[in-house]
Amino acid sequence: MRVVRFQARSFRNLGGAVVDVDAPMVVFHGMNGQGKTNALEALGLLGSLRSFRTPRLADAIPRAGGAFLPEDAAAGEMRAALDVRALVRSEGQSRQFVFLGGDGARRLQREERTVDAVTWLTSLRASWFSPADVGVVREEPLARRALLDRTILTLDPTYLALARDHRRVLDQKAALYRSGRASDAELDVLDAQLVPLGARVTDARRKGVDRIRSGFGTMYAEIAGGETAGVRLRSALGDGDLPELIERYAGMVAAQRPMERERRRVLGGSQRDDLVFEVAGRPARTDASQGQARSVVLAWKLAEIQAAAEGGEVPLFLVDDLGSELDATRTSAFVRRLHELGAQVFVSTTDVRVVPRAALSSGEVCVVRVEAGQMLPNAEAR
């Protein structure tokens, strides 16, 4: 897929200019604080329906002077304060995507028809790498679960519905325990829903890791000069097929109930799954250097794009602050690999010279200068 045209109105400081970005690589460049990352964030919102910078969409809406009612938002239905749209070409077909958000709601429109999140993500997806992502290797399991879940969504958007249902039931059970009034009958009803949902989540995660594992090892060896790396899923549900996971999880929730009552919280289950990286046979979380951690995340991202390509649709790829985490050699190799996989790459940088010279000279790079929220297309690469 490729974004041909892009516009963001009332999104942070972006001024709403329409920019043509029909190129394999698009570079947003300018001084710090001008809106380069905002442009990437808006594209990421289109490709993942979430921001890679904040969990609250309201944070991206200008605090003053930015609210407006687009002509295509029905009066009285929702007061849209955020409008991001793109013309996307995929498999010879061009479609207009419009994301409207405000007042805690959102509307997704594809070709002027309102669609649900799964339908949207089936035809427009994005992955990204930012300097903050390097920390995921050493952070708590929650960060690695989020990394894995985002990858599974890239590979299979229908996972979104399963993940949401699992989270909804898990939150209901947690709220019931916190109330101090959890009866066995109520818990039985929730566990009857939670067990198959949780087992399916773990099963999907394990299959996702299986799809990524081989490519991850190969990509890491390329980036790290032949050093080895591996990845696996660690889950309290153990290994096995889906019926085995369901049976094991049912026994677990029954055994845990007395302690959960005492502590008023949900204990072990799929919500505790962890993604375990190893470098040169040692746990990356405790033993990896900063350079190794960086290579782990880069290899994971490349393996994700490769797996998506094998599934028939290559997502957009966004790189924030190109050059801050990668030396020239890694930058060139990383961008070359993405290009070989067929991904349209969007990067932000303060210095357009960090973009590999071979790519610039090929004429396959669109450079957009960003100044005070204004996106100025067809800038000169200097």
Composition of the chain by helix, strand, coil, percent to 5: 45, 20, 30
Q: What is the pLDDT of residue 96?
A: 96
Q: What is the largest CA-CA distance in the chain?
A: 69
Average per-residue pLDDT for the chain: 88
Q: What is the pLDDT of residue 80?
A: 54
Per-residue model confidence as pLDDT tens digits over 164-189: 999 999 999 999 999 999 999 999 99
* Rounded Cα gap, residues 341 and 36, in angstroms: 25
Please report which confidence band the pLDDT of residue 361 belongs to, taking 50, 70 and 90 as the band edges.
low
**Fold annotation for 1-125+313-382:** Rossmann fold (3.40.50)
Closest CA to 38 of 66, 60, 71: 60
* Rounded Cα gap, residues 374 and 368, in angstroms: 10
Question: Which alpha helices (H) appear in 264-366, and where do they start and end?
Answer: 284-287, 290-310, 328-341, 357-361
Q: At the top level of CATH, which class does the domain 138-311 belong to?
A: mainly alpha
Q: Where in the chain is the domain with CATH 1.20.1050.90?
A: 138-311
Does position 74 have pLDDT exceeding 50, yes or no?
no
The radius of gyration of the chain's CA atoms, rounded to the nearest angstrom, is 22
Q: DSSP state, 379?
A: P
Least confident of 173-187, 204-218, 279-293, 350-364: 350-364
pTM for this model (two decimals)? 0.87
Q: Where in the chain is the domain with CATH 3.40.50.300?
A: 1-125+313-382
Over range 22-43, report the average pLDDT: 92
